[in-house]
């Protein structure tokens, strides 16, 4: 695989196309090529991997792509991320935000939740994936340890989704509810249900979830600026 003849613009396009098509080796090689040309890891992530994964997210939402294809694309993204991750840490690139995510107690469905996790990582979030069958104590411990900005809960069963409320209530009891933004999702979950269990937002699909998480972090940063400004003025 030799991409040295490609102009930069076409390299980004081909990287996105290959990611869309789940071509892992190609995406890794293109990631290295972009780095070799002097692009920083953040830029490679944005212009190549995230741009490609955005298309995947939209086409999955629209029923154009199917689960095996999205998983293949996500694996290609992972191949690129493995190259970029140490560089991102090294250069101290600002992270977008931190998310703790898991499928709630009693439920072992994880395809959708893993897609969301993967897409969040792709968008630059640091993601702590707690896996499946996660009880309230485990969520709590992870929040204490990692101090995330957002927690994401997933459930695929009508019998397990009420557990989201249990987790939310525990956060309130532990006086930690204000610390985190609570997002929920999963096939039987709806906007109404999300509000009923006390969540802050409902992620209808992977792409939407990423958009909501990003918008929330933007607001947080804006608010930070306002607070800082206010502190300076005082």
Partner 1 sequence: MLETIISSPTKTVIIGPNRPFVIIGERINPTGRKKLAAEMAAGNFNRVRQDAIDQVAAGAHVIDVNAGIPLADEPALLAEAIRIVQSVTDVPICIDSSIVAALKAGLAAVKGKPLVNSVTGEEERLESVLPMVAEYKAAVIAISNDETGISYDMRERLKVAKRIVERAERYGIPRCDVIIDPLAMPAGAIAGAGKNVFELVRMVREELGCNACCGASNISFGLPGRPVLNGAFLAMAIAAGMTCAITNPIEHEIKRSIMAADLMMGHDENCLNWIAVSRENAQSAVASGATPMNATVSAADQARAEREARRASRRAAQA
Q: Which residues bind partner 1 (CB under 8 A)?
A: 13-14, 17, 20, 22, 55, 58-59, 62-64, 66, 68-69, 71-72
* Min dist. Cβ of residue 37 to partner 1 (A): 19
Beta bridge partner(s), residue 185: 154
**Minimum CB separation from partner 1 for residue 15, in Å?**
12
CB of 230 to partner 1, least distance (A): 44
Pairing of strands 98-103, 126-129: parallel
CB atoms within 10 A of CB 66: 10
Q: How far is the CB of 106 from partner 1 (least distance, A)?
A: 27
Q: Is the dihedral of CA 15, 16, 19, 21 positive or negative?
A: negative
**Smaller CB separation from partner 1, 13 or 166:** 13
Residue 62 contacts residue 98 (beta carbons within 8 Å): no
Nearer to partner 1, 63 or 94 (CB): 63
User: Based on CB atoms, which residue is closest to partner 1, 50 or 130?
Assistant: 50
| Cβ neighbours, 10 Å, residue 220 | 14
Annotate 152-161 with b (16+ C-beta within 10 A) or e (fewer). bbbbbbeebb
Q: How far apart are CA 121 and CA 234, in angstroms?
A: 38
| Nearer CB in complex with partner 1: 133/208 | 208
* Segments of 16-121 assigned E as strands: 98-103
User: Cβ of residue 10: shortest distance to partner 1, in angstroms?
Assistant: 8
d(CA 82, CA 176): 33
Give the separation between CA 127 and CA 44, rounded to whole angstroms. 19
CB of 17 to partner 1, least distance (A): 5
In the three-class reduction of DSSP (H, G, I as helix; E, B as strand; rest coil), residue 185 is classed as strand
- Closest CB to partner 1 among 1 and 172? 1
Q: Which is nearer to partner 1, 61 or 85 (CB)?
A: 61
């Amino acid at each position: 695989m030799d991409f040295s003849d490609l102009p930069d613009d076409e390299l980004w396009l081909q990287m996105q196309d290959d990611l869309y098509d789940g071509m892992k080796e190609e995406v890794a090689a293109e990631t290295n090529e972009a780095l070799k040309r002097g692009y920083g890891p953040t830029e490679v992530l944005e212009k190549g991997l995230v741009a490609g994964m955005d298309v995947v997210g939209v086409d999955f939402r629209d029923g154009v792509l199917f689960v095996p294809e999205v998983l293949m694309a996500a694996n290609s993204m992972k191949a690129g991320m493995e190259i970029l991750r140490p560089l991102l840490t090294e250069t101290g690139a600002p992270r977008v935000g931190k998310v703790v995510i898991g499928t709630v107690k009693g439920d072992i469905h994880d395809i959708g939740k893993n897609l969301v996790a993967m897409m969040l990582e792709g968008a630059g979030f640091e993601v702590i994936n707690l896996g499946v069958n996660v009880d309230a104590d485990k969520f709590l411990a992870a929040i204490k340890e990692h101090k995330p900005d957002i927690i994401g809960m997933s459930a695929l069963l009508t019998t397990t989704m009420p557990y989201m409320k249990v987790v939310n209530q525990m956060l309130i009891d532990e006086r930690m509810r204000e610390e985190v933004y609570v997002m929920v999702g999963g096939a039987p979950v709806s906007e109404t249900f999300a509000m009923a269990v006390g969540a802050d937002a409902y992620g209808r699909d992977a792409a939407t979830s990423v958009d909501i998480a990003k918008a929330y972090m933007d607001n947080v940063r804006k608010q930070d600026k306002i607070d800082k400004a206010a502190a300076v003025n005082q």
